[in-house]
């Protein structure tokens, strides 16, 4: 088992091939971070990269696909608004006003060139973290997992339990999963938060989202799918229901009730 800091959190990797998986996590994290010199910050500064790194193209392409699937609610074009809301280099650092979140349809993303429209800068955020973890997971063989601070990709040959930290001080929740490959994503309005805001932005308002939920966890076959669904649980329940399919969706509300989304409704979930 390996533990180290990357992607802005503590990472745990376990399983055969863990060294290669850890290397890939660190490599892609350095390529896609917005918090230091990287291919992404170069793109944001220049507005265009000719012959960009292939992995940057793949990551941006994935983020643009998530934007299309979510109707623009999970979008990489969030950075100016996120900074204005209070998350520049660290949570709570205010940098003025940003009026709107630009549409992503005019972003050019090809192997030959990455080009951003004027005023557009990218924060790949949770979509990048889940994508990176999923890419690194390909290096693991047999039973194993990658835990990236709330995002997990794992393979188990037996029934196992996923631990979900309760947002209050109460006991954790354990969810049973059948054998197989699973992605588990958790998003919270209580993490990376500051007085008057948090890091989950509603692109329709350009402000931190408002919701009766404070934490959402999704278990799906792909971590990248689970990540998108966590955001939609906060932002658009109808769209969530349309693409949830077989994913398991759980949430804690402001009263610390543990809920699950079934048949288009939130209902009390059993706790083990």
Q: What is the CATH number of the domain that holds 253?
A: 3.10.520.10
Do 26 and 81 lie in one domain? The reply is: yes
Same domain, 91 and 150: no
Q: Write down the pLDDT at residue 155.
A: 97
Q: Same domain for 167 and 263?
A: yes
Whether residues 200 and 121 share a domain: the answer is no
Q: Is residue 7 part of a domain?
A: no
| Co-location of 155 and 58 in the same domain | no
Residues 219 and 107 placed together within one structural domain of the fold: no
Say if residue 83 is in the same domain as residue 120.
yes
Residue 222 sits in the same domain as residue 155: yes
In angstroms, the CA 115 to CA 140 distance is: 34
The 10s digit of each residue's pLDDT in 88-119 is: 888 877 767 766 889 999 999 999 999 999 99
Residue 227: what pLDDT? 96
For residue 123, the tally of other CB atoms under 10 A from its CB is 24
Tokens of residue 66, six digits: 């998530």
218 occurs within a structural domain: yes
pLDDT at res. 212: 94
Q: Is 105 among the domain residues?
A: yes
Residue 37: the pLDDT is 95
Give the count of domains, the chain.
2
Question: Based on the domain organization, do 206 and 173 belong to the same domain?
Answer: yes
Query: Distance of alpha carbon 184 from its chain centroid, rounded?
Result: 10
HEC string for the chain:
CEEEEECCEEEEEEEECHHHHHHHHHHHHHHHCCCCCCHHHHHHHHCEEECCCHHHHHHHHHHHHHHHHCCCCCCCCCHHHHHHHCECCCECECCCCCCCCCCCCCCEECCCEEECCCCCCCCCHHHHHHHHHHHHHCCCEEEEEEEECCEEEEEECCCEEEEECCCCCCCCEEEEECCEEEEEEEEECCCCEECCEECCEECCCCEECCCCEEEEEEEECCHHHHHHHHHHHHHCHHHHHHHHCCCEEEEEECCCCEEEEECCEEEECCCC
pLDDT at residue 99, as a whole number: 67
The mean pLDDT of the chain is: 93
Non-local (6+) Cβ contacts of 81 within 8 A are 98, 100, 101, 201, 203, 206, 207
- Residues ≥6 apart with Cβ < 8 Å to 27: none
Same domain, 112 and 63: yes
Taking only the tens place, the pLDDT of each residue in 129-141 is: 999 999 999 999 9
What pLDDT sits at residue 86? Answer: 86
- Per the listing, tokens 């299309």 go with 68
How far apart are alpha carbons 150 and 130 in whole angstroms?
Answer: 10
What does the pLDDT read at residue 87? 87
175 within a domain of the structure (yes/no): yes
Quick check: is 19 in a domain?
yes
- 118 and 157: one domain? no
DSSP β-bridge partners for residue 183: 153, 220
Residue after which a domain boundary falls, among 66, 95, 125: 125
Q: Which domain holds residue 90?
A: 15-125
Tell me how far apart the alpha carbons of residues 250 and 245 are, in angstroms, rounded to a whole number: 14
CA atoms within 13 A on the CB side of 168: 12
**Which residue, 91, 125, 159, sits at the end of a domain?**
125
Identify the domain boundary among 68, 92, 125.
125
Residues 121 and 152 in one domain: no
Residue 101: give its domain's CATH number: 1.10.3980
Looking at the chain, the whole-number percentage of residues with pLDDT higher than 90 is: 78
Ranges of residues in the chain with a pLDDT under 70 are 95, 98-99, 271-272
């Amino acid at each position: 088992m390996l533990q180290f800091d990357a992607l802005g959190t503590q990472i745990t990797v376990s399983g055969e091939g863990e060294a290669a998986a850890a290397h890939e996590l660190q490599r892609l994290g350095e390529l896609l971070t917005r918090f230091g010199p990287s291919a992404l910050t170069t793109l944001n500064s220049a507005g265009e990269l000719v012959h960009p790194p292939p992995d940057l193209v793949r990551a941006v392409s994935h983020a643009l696909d998530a934007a299309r699937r979510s109707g623009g609610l999970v979008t990489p074009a969030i950075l100016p608004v996120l900074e204005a809301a209070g998350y520049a280099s660290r949570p709570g650092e205010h940098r003025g006003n940003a009026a709107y979140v630009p549409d992503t349809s005019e972003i050019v993303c090809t192997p030959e060139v990455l080009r951003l429209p004027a005023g557009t800068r990218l924060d790949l955020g949770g979509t990048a973290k889940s994508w990176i973890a999923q890419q690194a997971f390909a290096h693991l063989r047999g039973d194993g997992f990658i835990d990236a601070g709330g995002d997990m990709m794992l393979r188990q040959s037996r029934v196992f339990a996923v631990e979900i930290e309760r947002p209050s001080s109460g006991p954790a929740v354990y969810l049973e999963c059948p054998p197989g490959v699973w992605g588990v994503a958790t998003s919270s309005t209580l993490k990376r938060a500051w007085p008057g805001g948090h890091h989950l932005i509603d692109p329709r308002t350009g402000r931190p989202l408002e919701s009766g939920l404070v934490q959402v966890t999704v278990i799906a076959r792909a971590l990248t799918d689970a990540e998108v669904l966590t955001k939609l649980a906060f932002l658009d329940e109808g769209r969530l229901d349309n693409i949830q399919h077989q994913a398991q969706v759980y949430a804690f509300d402001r009263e610390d009730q543990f809920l699950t989304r079934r048949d288009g409704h939130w209902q009390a979930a059993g706790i083990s």
